[in-house]
């Protein structure tokens, strides 16, 4: 029976594993191989250069700038997205008035869930194109037009938004505007994720806390957050991976796909520029491998830090 079961399972898994190995593992292995060459991408000439590409990326000023921009997103995107998602989820599930029916969410919570989740049905490129019109750096842009109508800015001096490299708190302004889009597009999904987790928490716990005189803030901090720790940990890992990408937003929305003056460069945009503009595919593969390793290390570190015994309720 055991051998028969093993053959049955192997029969179902063989084809998916082969497809995964061919379309995922093998291309990644090829990229690792190319990263040790000076391949130009448009010819078969490949000279082995050893670890020269990896030494070069540690000395490349553009890579350094892109790395710190990615670190900015790695810190801010999960932080703001999770904070807002938790806040909205708490309001929609246990933020309303308590009555004979027990603790409930705010009035119309089901409608709010649909509204907040709506960006998830749109592709990231479509979101980028939509926000490109909102951020237009002339009086035809939605934000600039609104600010001009309100008399807050002059019509001949519109805001540049994603074309503005001026530092704000030491960070180029363009990165703050891209951060707003990333948070707006992601908060709805994680709000629904946390809402589902909150609905699994017995309402008796909240009602007992309120009867003991606990306020909404203390209830959120002492009950909700500890019981959602596993969900928050998973969300942080996924958002961290998203923050280390950000390529679609940068490519569609910023001038010269990483501008102005490299103010919005990230690892992914440097890889694209290095491969297709400079024709240095070997070096671009080294950058891609370095980004993949960094992403896996960040994910493993996050899971290790947040690991603990599961709370049963």
Which CATH number does 34-40+47-305 carry?
1.10.3720.10
Task: Look at 137-141, 184-188, 248-252 and tell me which has the smallest mean pLDDT.
Answer: 137-141
Total-model pTM: 0.86
User: 40-49, 88-97, 291-300: which has the highest mean pLDDT?
Assistant: 291-300
Domain boundaries along the sequence of the chain: 34-40+47-305
Q: Residue 1's pLDDT band (boundaries 50, 70, 90)? A: very low
pLDDT in tens, 153-203: 887 888 888 888 888 888 999 999 999 999 999 999 999 899 888 888 777
What would the mean pLDDT of 65-87 be, rounded to a whole number? 93
Backbone angles phi, psi at 34, to 5 degrees: -65, -25
């Amino acid at each position: 029976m055991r051998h028969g079961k093993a053959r049955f399972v192997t029969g179902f898994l063989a084809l998916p594993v082969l497809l995964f190995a061919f379309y995922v593992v093998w291309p990644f292995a090829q990229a690792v191989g190319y990263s040790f060459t000076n391949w130009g991408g448009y010819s078969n000439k490949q000279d082995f250069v050893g670890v020269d590409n990896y030494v070069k990326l540690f000395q490349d000023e553009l890579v350094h700038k892109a790395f710190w921009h990615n670190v900015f997103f790695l810190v801010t995107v999960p932080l703001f997205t999770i904070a807002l998602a938790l806040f909205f989820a708490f309001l929609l599930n246990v933020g309303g008035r308590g009555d004979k029916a027990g603790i409930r969410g705010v009035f119309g919570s089901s409608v709010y869930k649909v509204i907040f989740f709506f960006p998830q049905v749109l592709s990231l490129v479509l979101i980028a194109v939509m926000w490109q019109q909102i951020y237009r750096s002339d009086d035809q842009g939605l934000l600039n037009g609104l600010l001009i109508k309100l008399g807050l800015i002059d019509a001949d001096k519109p805001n540049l938004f994603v074309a503005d490299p001026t530092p704000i708190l030491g960070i180029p302004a363009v990165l703050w505007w891209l951060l707003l889009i990333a948070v707006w597009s992601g908060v709805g999904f994680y709000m629904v994720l946390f809402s589902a987790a909150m609905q699994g928490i017995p309402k008796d716990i909240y009602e007992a806390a309120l009867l003991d005189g606990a306020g909404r803030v203390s209830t959120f901090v002492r009950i909700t957050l500890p019981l959602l720790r596993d969900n928050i940990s998973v969300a942080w890992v996924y958002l961290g991976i998203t923050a280390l990408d950000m390529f679609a937003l940068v490519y569609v929305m910023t001038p010269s796909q990483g501008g102005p003056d490299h103010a919005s460069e990230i690892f992914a945009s440097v890889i694209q520029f290095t491969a297709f503009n400079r024709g240095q595919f070997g070096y671009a593969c080294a950058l891609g491998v370095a980004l993949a390793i960094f992403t896996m290390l960040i994910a493993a570190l996050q899971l290790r830090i947040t690991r603990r015994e599961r709370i049963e309720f």
